[in-house]
A and B are shown apart, each in its own frame.
Chain A
Amino acid sequence: MSDEFDVIVIGAGVAGALVAWELSQAKLRVLILEAGQRGPDRVDLVGNFATASSKTTRSPYKDVDGDKFAPSPEREKDYYEQSTSTDLFRSTYERRVGGSTWHWLGNVPRFIPNDFRMKTTYGVGVDWPITYDDLEPWYCKAEHAIGVSGDHEELQNLFGAYRSLPFPMSKIWASYSDLKVAQAIRGLEYDGLQVKILSTPQARNSQPYQGRPLCAGNSTCVPICPIQAKYDATVHIALAESYGALLREKSVVTRLIVDDDMHVRKVIYKTWDNAEHEATGKIIVIAAHAIESPKLLLMSRSDRAPNGVANSSGEVGRNLMDHLQGAGTALAREPLFPFRGPPTTSGIDVFRDGEFRHKRSAFRMSLGNDGWGRVESPYDTLFKLVKEQGLFGERLKEKLADRVTRQFRISYSTEMLPRDHNRVTLSEEKDALGIPRPSIHMGLDDYNRLGFQKAWDVMRAIFTAMKADEISTPTDPNKYSGAGHIMGTCRMGEDPRRSVVDAECRAHDHRNLFIIGASVFPTGATANPTLTAAALALRAADTIKKQIGG
């Protein structure tokens, strides 16, 4: 006998949690199915991080069973099959209750108006079926829901992105380093634009909020906030459960069943003991992030859906996007005192839009409070000083302090255009539950390479204005890292032949199926995707409430 619900939400990350919260508050019977697990407790996760040999984004969350039954990628060659990629897809995600918001940085800029109309404005990419104006009220709701600290005046009308409400919390203060860098580059212009440093809006408390403390500068936002001053989606999972939503962890959805009337009501899932179960819902919401969501749709092929569920267009899995990133490093003239406060508190937004987007990528830059990041960690610096230079005692302490306190980096995050050959399909390889692993094809564009080169030049201009030493910027336009911003694989659009969901995140092919999260983004822009995904999720919840009520 299957369980019957009003709504089944597949995936307990930020999008699924917000929808489950909204719908359970509206007294709907909600089931949340999450492939990963809830536990262990935060303090144990922090302990895992502290003792991990490699302090990666996954380091708190590695678990023998979790990694077997609901594997999450750690590196680009792990879990994904990428044999046809000319360039590797480098981003990862976390499958557990709360999803990738456990390890996210927590930066929440909004998209800007032109991000929604790239085709019309710049002749590249596609237009969204909604505008910034359509989404603006939902941005406000999302900022209040997850708790965002920001500078309302400073960000008002950034490239036309007006704000109708202030942030719920005032900004996270700029770091000592930000202030020193801003002083050093005052008046710096590049391509006729003033290189201005702006405060970064963050889902990180600057005052007590939702019963969570304010940021105390633990500096490990990635991979885990020990005190939950940084938002993670367990907040809204807990709220949803308080309103009666039922969460089943360790439940991996394997198939969606399409009925005669082309509705999707039945969901088949496997628990970690390999037992199969089913549940039915009047409305099904897929919120499994942008790799697992298309994977599930493709796995659900049937006579009624020969290309996979919601895939009459053939677009499911295609248009895979990330933000391709890199960093430059330099040694400042005076100490900047990194490794205090959040890893970044300020950024440079001036290159996020402009005529150049006809031919090269826009980018957003972040000023680091984390030294030289992975280029040279304090462990690397210490190792060199001790092993290679033979230092010890007072001299070691002095040299270590002198070097590490002056390490500074800037990172840049570039936009990828949607391309139908960048895609997720099903691999022949299976995981421990017999489910296909994702197969990814990815290829880099000159659009990105030109963007990288411009970013390097801007960084050099900044480091030069700072009169910094040991300036180092990348030189290979084929090298990049992933941002963990996985987007595009179930995109939104007006035309059912070229998109998977409509403007309200409803699948064109199945009236009662909704897909939410960053997989619905038609373009990736330069903003971290979570706030936009949250805004769309809240908007979709509103649509679902009206649809199910009517």
Chain B
Amino acid sequence: MLQGFIALSSALTDEHTLDQDLALAYLERVRGTEPHGQHLERLIQVFEEIQESGGGIDEQIEKKIMKDASLGPLARQIIFLWYTSALPSDDGKVWEFGSAQQYFAALMWASVHAHAPGLSGGYFGHWKYAPDN
């Protein structure tokens, strides 16, 4: 199940070197969410079928996962976890974080060419230059 979760997470986040320990922690967190966490196994299975089908992966994710009433919200939770290490309330106003380690591993910051607030971005003055990453 973990490898399936990692493969799914890679497709949802466009990140291809996801940490295994983090993946396990996020798998457990998302499995525990209400009301959609119970559908995690089915979600991973649907994604495996998409991978095996040989068609356009993103189009099928869109159709069979993102637009599904149970699988869509669950997939979005997975995206939020990897990007922020947190799960948002329905209105996005309250975010529930996990551990500090997860917070510092959040992917969103590298996506915007920055770093998790609280971690150093590099040497003194690096902010003067366009980012390397």
Q: Which residues of the partner chain B approach A47 to less than 8 Å between Cβ atoms? A: 100
Number of interface residues of A (CB under 8 A): 53
Q: Report the Cα distance A217→B129, complex, angstroms.
A: 12
The B contact surface, by secondary structure, is: mixed
Whether a CB of chain A sits under 8 angstroms from the CB of B55 is: no
Binds B, one of A90-98, A190-198, A375-383, A490-498: A375-383
Beta-carbon nearest neighbor of A44 in chain B: B100
Taking CB atoms and an 8 Å cut-off, the chain A residues in 263-300 that contact chain B are: none
Q: Known pairs A218-B120, A383-B88. 6 more at Cβ < 8 A? A: A50-B97, A227-B120, A337-B113, A337-B114, A394-B14, A397-B111
Taking CB atoms and an 8 Å cut-off, the chain A residues in 33-86 that contact chain B are: 46-47, 49-55
Out of A214, A218, A400, name the residue touching B119 (CB < 8 Å).
Answer: A218
Of the listed residues A206, A216, A393, A405, the one surrounded by the most CB atoms of chain B closer than 10 A to its CB is A393
Binds B, one of A103-111, A350-358, A384-392, A512-520: A384-392
Q: Which residues of the partner chain A approach B125 to less than 8 Å between Cβ atoms? A: 173
* Minimum C-beta distance from A152 to chain B (A): 18
Whether a CB of chain B sits under 8 angstroms from the CB of A202 is: no
Residues of B within 8 A of A (CB): 11-14, 58, 61-62, 66-67, 75-76, 79-80, 83-84, 86, 88, 92, 94-100, 103-104, 108-109, 111-115, 117-131
Beta-carbon nearest neighbor of B12 in chain A: A392
B121 touches A401 (CB 8 A): no
Q: Which residues of the partner chain B approach A400 to less than 8 Å between Cβ atoms? A: 108, 111-112
Out of B62, B94, B117, B120, name the residue touching A54 (CB < 8 Å).
Answer: B94
Q: Report the Cα distance A379→B2, complex, angstroms.
A: 26
Q: Report the Cα distance A487→B117, complex, angstroms.
A: 30
A176 touches B124 (CB 8 A): no
Beta-carbon nearest neighbor of A226 in chain B: B118
Q: Report the Cα distance A383→B114, complex, angstroms.
A: 18
B99 touches A51 (CB 8 A): yes
A382 touches B127 (CB 8 A): no
B120 touches A217 (CB 8 A): yes
B83 touches A340 (CB 8 A): no
Beta-carbon nearest neighbor of B104 in chain A: A50
A214 touches B100 (CB 8 A): no
Q: Which residues of the partner chain A approach B130 to less than 8 Å between Cβ atoms? A: 176, 335, 337
